[in-house]
Amino acid sequence: MPTIYLASSSPRRRELLEQIGLPYTIVTVDVDESLLPGLSPIEQVVALSQRKARAAATIYSEGIVIAADTVVVLDGQVLGKPANEAEALTMLERLQGNVHEVLTGITLLELAGDRVFSDFECTEVQMRDVSRDELMRYITTKEPFDKAGAYGVQGLAAVFVAGIRGCYFNVVGLPLFKLTQMLKEFNVDVSSYWR
């Protein structure tokens, strides 16, 4: 079986790969994650996942790289990671009571043959109406600061989510069903790693 490299520093993506029993090696890549002008949110996440995969491909010569990028989109506007408490509060206030989309772009890159396969997943999330006091208490936990849209569905903010339409794991940061289907394009069956 090929070595799988995860081009991500996200602890959530690591946990998701461990959950499905897929062994991997972390590759730390330093890429510019700023938004690319003129691209739709879907094109943004796919392009950034490709950028991460290509950066990892300069380090190793064999195996398969998995790279992903996740954003929150509300009314066509991308909400990234908040830089401070004020940004986190603004994002969370905009999301509360509304439906937003979580988009993840995924790129798999086969190092030996330089074969690349990219796709994306979209999940709709309904946030309940949340009081300002609750939002402020959430922000003081520091949980929002490394997360797109200033919240983590797998953490304390789970109590803000009224419903999800689509892949839950996509909201966490890596759509597992989509990923396993993409890996099959490279003749990798995740269940073959189970012992």
CB 127 within 8 A of CB 84: no
User: DSSP 3-state assignment of 23?
Assistant: coil
Main-chain phi, psi angles of 116, to 5 degrees:
-125, 135
Of 32, 69, 119, 146, the active-site residue reads 69
Structure tokens at 183: 């890996």
- To the query of whether residue 69 is one of the catalytic residues in this protein, the response is yes
List residues with catalytic annotation: 69
